[in-house]
Amino acid sequence: MKISKLTKNFERFSLFVDEMELVPGKIYGIIGPNGCGKTTAMKLIAGLIKPDSGQIDRCGLTERDITMAFRKPYLIRDTVVRNLTYPLTIRGIQPDERQIKESLSLAGLWDYRDSFAPGLSSGEQQKLSLLRAMIFSPKLMLIDEAFSNLDMESAGLFERMILERQQTNPATYLICAHQLSHIQRLCAYIFFMHKGKIEARGQAEDILYAPQNPHLKNYLKYASLREEAPGWNS
Amino acid sequence: MMFEILDAEVLGIITLTLRMTLFSTAISSLIGIPLGLWLDSARFAGKKLVVIINRTLMASPPVVVGLVVYLLLMRNGPFGFMGLLFTFEAMVIAQVLLLTPIICGIVHTASARSAEGIRLFARTMGANKTQTQLLLIKELGNDIFFAVVTGFGRAMSEVGAIMIVGGNIRHQTRTMTTTISLLRGMGEIHQAIFLGAVLMLIAFSVQMTADFFRKRERASDENF
Amino acid sequence: MKVKSTAIACLILAAILAGCAGQPLVGASPPKGELTLVTTTSTVDSGLIEYILPYFTEETGWDVRVISVGTGAALQLGRDGEADVVLVHARSEEDRFVAEGYSPRRHDVMYNDFIVVGPTDGPIAHNNDAGATFAAILEQNLLFISRGDNSGTHIRELDIWSAFGLTPEDNPRYIESGQGMGITLGMAAEMDAYMLVDRGTWLAYPDVGELVIVCEGGAFLRNPYGVMLVSSTLHPTGAQAFIDWVTGPIARELIGSFGVEQFGQPLFFPEA
C-alpha cells in the first residue's frame, strides 16, 4: 500500500502526507500529540474520507478487506453475539459456534453474549469491537486508540492475539496509541506525526530510543518506556 | 343520525377511520422514512432550504392542504378525470401530504443525530449500500417507530382536510372526527363527546402498544 | 414606592384604553348591552344578518353577537341558555321549542323558498311538483345529496319524503354530506347530483357548475323563518326589542330589498 502527496484540508487544520508505504504483513505504529492528524490519516487510508488531492494505491485491497476500530466504538443496538457476527452476516458467512464461544470467553464476554451490547461498559465495548473487527480476518486493520479503555490484562490479551495471528494469518496493522508500551511491544516500524505532517519515521527502536526530531524528542519526554523491548514474539 | 353506543354505524365509522389511518400512515412512512434518511445523507446545493421547507410543511394547516387537494381533484382540475374527489382515496391523498413531511422531518432529525456514526461503522465493516441502509433503519428503529406512531396519531385526529376532500359522506367518507364535527353542528354534544372518548381510547391503545415495544428494548439493556 | 407608581400608571393607561375601546364607533344611542343571536348558516352566509344588524344597533343601542350554526344546534344553544334570541327555519322544531317552555312564543319574520336543483342533462324536466320530483329521484335511483345534519333544510327534506310515503334510503345513490348548505351545493355541482337547497344560497353560490333548477314553487318548498325570545335570557328588554324590530316595518323593508341589486331578486321576503 502506497500513499503519496495526500492532502486533506479542514477549517482549522490541514493534513499533508508526503509519502507512506505499508508492506503487507507488517505492524506499523503511528504516534504524535493530540490533534496532529493521526485519526484523519487513518480514516483516509481506510477510505472512510476522501482526500482533497494525492494518491492512495491500495494494491488491490477493497473496502471489504480493510477495517478500522475506534476509541469509541459503535455497537449495534442488539446482542453481544449479533454484534460480533455482524461482519460475517453481511458477508453471508455462517459463524463458527466454537470460534465465537472461544473468542468471547477469552475476552470475558461469554456470559453477556445475549446482553444488549450498547449497555456494556466502555472497556467491554472496546473489547467487543476489537473482536468484531478481527473476526472476518481483514487484510488491513487500523486501530485508533482502541486499547485506551482496556485494563492491562485485556490489552495484553489483544496484543498477544495480534501477534499470534501474524504467525498463522498475517495482516497489515496500523496502530495508533498514546500508551507507547503497546506500540513498543507490537510495532516494527513507527511514524511520528506533528501538526499534520509525518516528521519522523523509522524502525521502532530508532524512533523510541534514539529520536532525532526535536518535536519527537519533546513528545517522548514524558513517556516511561522500559529499556528493553520484549515483544511477545521475540 | 342518532345512534346507540357502538351500533353498526359507529363501528363502521371506526373501521373506516382506522383503515384510512393505516393506509395513510403506511404510504407516508414508505415515502417519508427513505426521504428523511436521504435528506440527511445527501449533499446538494439548497439542502438547508429543503430542510426548512420540510419543517414548514410539517406545520402546514390541514385546511389549506385540503383545499389544494380539492382543487387538484375537482372535475375541472388537473386530476379531475380520475374521479377521486369525495372518495376514500382522496382522504388518503390529503393525509399523505400532511403526514409525509412530519415523518420525514422526525426521521431526518434522528438521522442527523446518529446516522453518520452508523454509516462510518458500516463502512469499516465492509457493508454495501443496501446493507448500510438496512442497518441504518434498524439502528434508528426507535426514532422511526416514534415517527410512524406520531404520524398515526395525526392521521387519526385530522379533520380539516378530510372534511373538504372526503365530503363527510355517510357510510363512505365519514370518519370519527368528521362525525364529531357533524354531531357538534347538530347540537348532539353528548354523542360528540362519547365518540371523542372512543377516539382517545383508540389513540391511547396505540400509544400503549408503541410503548410496550419500546420498553422491550430498554429492558434488555438493564443488565448493566 | 416605585412599584406602586408603576402600577398606578398601568391602571391609568388601562383605563384610557378601556375608555377608547368602549366608545361607540357609530350610532346615536348609547350602548345598552350585548345580545346573543343564534341563527342558521343560511341567514349569515347570504349576508342578510350583517346587512340589517347595524340598523338595529343604531336604532336601539343594543349590540348583537351572532353565532351561526345549523337549526338543530341553534335550538340546542337556546335550551342551554347560551342565546338570548334564536332565528331559525324549521317550523316543527320551533313549535316543539315553544311547547317545551324554552320560549314564550314564535313570531313570523320572513320566508324564502327551497328549490330542487340537478344536472342540466338529467331526466327530470323543470316542474313545480316537489312530490313527483322526489319520487322520480327515488324510482330512477338518481344521485341525491342530503344535508344529513338536522338543519332546517335537512328536516324539510325528510318532511317531503315522508309526506309522499317515500323512503330515501331505498335509493342506493342517496348520500348524506353532513355539512353546510354552501359546501353541500359545491359537492352536488362536482358530482352532478340532485339536492334540496334554499334559493338564497343557490343565488349567492359562485360556481354551481352544470346544475339547474328542476323544481320550484308550491307549498312544500316554502321556507319560513321564525324568531323566538329565549325564556332564560339575561337581557329580556333587549331580546324583546330585537323581536319587535325584526318583525317591524323598517326590518321588513330592509329584508325585502336585500340582494335585489346583486341578484336581481330578493333572497328573502318579509312576512306580511
A64/B223 Cβ within 8 A: no
Helices (H), chain B: 8-41, 47-58, 62-73, 88-125, 129-139, 141-157, 160-166, 176-185, 189-220
Q: Using the 3D structure, point to which of C204, C221, C238 is the last residue of a domain.
A: C221
> How many percent of chain B have pLDDT more than 90?
69
Average pLDDT, chain C: 88
**Among B56-70, C6-20, C25-39, C147-161, where is mean pLDDT lowest?**
C6-20
Residue of chain A whose Cα is closest to the Cα of B142: A77
Residue C2 resides in a domain: no
The predicted structure's pLDDT at residue B206? 86
Nearest alpha carbon to residue A117 among A87, A152, A73: A73
The predicted structure's pLDDT at residue C23? 45
The predicted structure's pLDDT at residue C26? 46
**Among A60-74, C22-36, C180-194, C212-226, where is mean pLDDT lowest?**
C22-36
pLDDT tens profile B189-200: 888 999 999 999
Q: Are C95 and C128 in a shared domain?
A: no
ipTM above 0.90, yes or no: no
Minimum-distance CB partner of A74 among B117, B217, B223:
B117
Q: Are C254 and C241 in a shared domain?
A: yes
Reading the block at residue B192, the C-alpha cell is 360528540
**Among B104-113, B205-214, C133-142, C230-239, where is mean pLDDT lowest?**
B205-214
The predicted structure's pLDDT at residue A221? 82
* Number of structural domains found in chain C: 2
pLDDT at B125 over 70: yes
On whether any CB of chain B is under 8 Å from the CB of C67, the answer is no
Q: Are C131 and C195 in a shared domain?
A: yes
Average pLDDT, chain B: 89
B124/A69 Cβ within 8 A: yes
pLDDT at B18 over 60: yes
A69/B220 Cβ within 8 A: no
The predicted structure's pLDDT at residue A61? 85
The predicted structure's pLDDT at residue B17? 96
Task: Tell me the three-class secondary structure of C195-247, residue by residue.
Answer: EEEEHHHHHHCCCCCCEEEEEECCHHHEEEEEEEECCCCCCHHHHHHHHHHHC
B187/C190 Cβ within 8 A: no
Q: Are C147 and C57 in a shared domain?
A: no
Q: Residue C1 — pLDDT band, cuts 50, 70, 90?
A: very low
Contacts of B1 in chain C (CB under 8 A): 148, 150, 176, 178
Q: Are C43 and C87 in a shared domain?
A: yes
The CB-side HSE value for A92 (13 A sphere, CA atoms) comes to 1
Q: Are C136 and C65 in a shared domain?
A: no
Distance CA C266, CA A189 (A): 102
Minimum-distance CB partner of C177 among B169, B187, B188:
B169
Q: Are C80 and C105 in a shared domain?
A: yes
The predicted structure's pLDDT at residue C17? 47
Q: Which chains touch A (3 or more CB pairs under 8 A)?
A: B
Q: Are C75 and C59 in a shared domain?
A: yes
The predicted structure's pLDDT at residue A11? 74
Residue of chain A whose Cα is closest to the Cα of B135: A76
CA A168 from chain center: how many Å? 19
Contacts of B123 in chain A (CB under 8 A): 46-48, 63
Q: In chain C, which among 91-130 make CB contacts under 8 A with chain B?
A: none
What's the mean pLDDT in B9-19?
94
Distance CA C180, CA C198 (A): 12
Q: In chain A, which among 63-122 make CB contacts under 8 A with chain B?
A: 63-69, 73-74, 76-78, 86-87, 90-91, 112, 115-116, 118-121
Q: Are C49 and C127 in a shared domain?
A: no
Q: Are C46 and C107 in a shared domain?
A: yes
The CATH number of the domain where C163 resides is what? Answer: 3.40.190.10
Residue C141 resides in a domain: yes
Residue C257 resides in a domain: yes
Which residues is A28 bridged to in the sheet?
A174, A189
pLDDT tens profile C255-266: 999 989 888 889
Domain that holds residue C165: 112-221
Q: How far is A72 from chain B (nearest CA, A)?
A: 10
B168/C73 Cβ within 8 A: no
pLDDT tens profile B42-61: 889 999 999 999 999 999 99
Q: Are C118 and C197 in a shared domain?
A: yes
| Domain range A2-76+137-220, its CATH number among 1.10.8.60, 3.40.109.10, 3.30.70.2740, 3.40.50.300 | 3.40.50.300
The predicted structure's pLDDT at residue C5? 57
Residue C177 resides in a domain: yes
C77/B182 Cβ within 8 A: no
pLDDT tens profile C212-245: 999 999 889 999 999 999 999 999 999 999 999 9
B126/A87 Cβ within 8 A: yes
What's the mean pLDDT in B99-125?
93
Which of C176, C185, C195 has the highest number of chain B CBs within 10 A, making it the mutation to test binding with B? Answer: C176
Domains of chain B: 8-214 (1.10.3720.10)
Write the single-letter amino acid at A72: K
Residue C15 resides in a domain: no
pLDDT tens profile A92-132: 999 899 989 998 998 899 999 999 999 999 889 999 999 99
Residues of chain A with pLDDT under 70: 224-234
Query: Would you tell me how many other CB atoms lie within 10 Å of the CB of residue C27?
Result: 15
What's the mean pLDDT in B69-93?
93
Residue C84 resides in a domain: yes
Nearest alpha carbon to residue C150 among C85, C89, C99: C89
What's the mean pLDDT in C74-92?
92
pLDDT at B217 over 70: no
Residue of chain A whose Cα is closest to the Cα of B131: A90
Reading the block at residue C230, the C-alpha cell is 329565549
DSSP 3-state helix, strand, coil percentages of chain C (rounded to 5)?
Answer: 45, 20, 30
Backbone φ and ψ for C233, nearest 5 degrees, come out as -55, 145
Q: How far is B129 from chain C (nearest CA, A)?
A: 48
Contacts of B85 in chain C (CB under 8 A): 190-191
The predicted structure's pLDDT at residue C221? 95
Residue C236 resides in a domain: yes
B187/C150 Cβ within 8 A: yes
Q: Which chains touch C (3 or more CB pairs under 8 A)?
A: B
pLDDT tens profile B147-164: 999 999 999 999 999 999
The predicted structure's pLDDT at residue A225? 61
8-state DSSP, A116? B
Residue C213 resides in a domain: yes
B221/A116 Cβ within 8 A: yes
Q: Are C84 and C159 in a shared domain?
A: no
Which of C88, C120, C175, C210 has the highest number of chain B CBs within 10 A, making it the mutation to test binding with B? Answer: C175
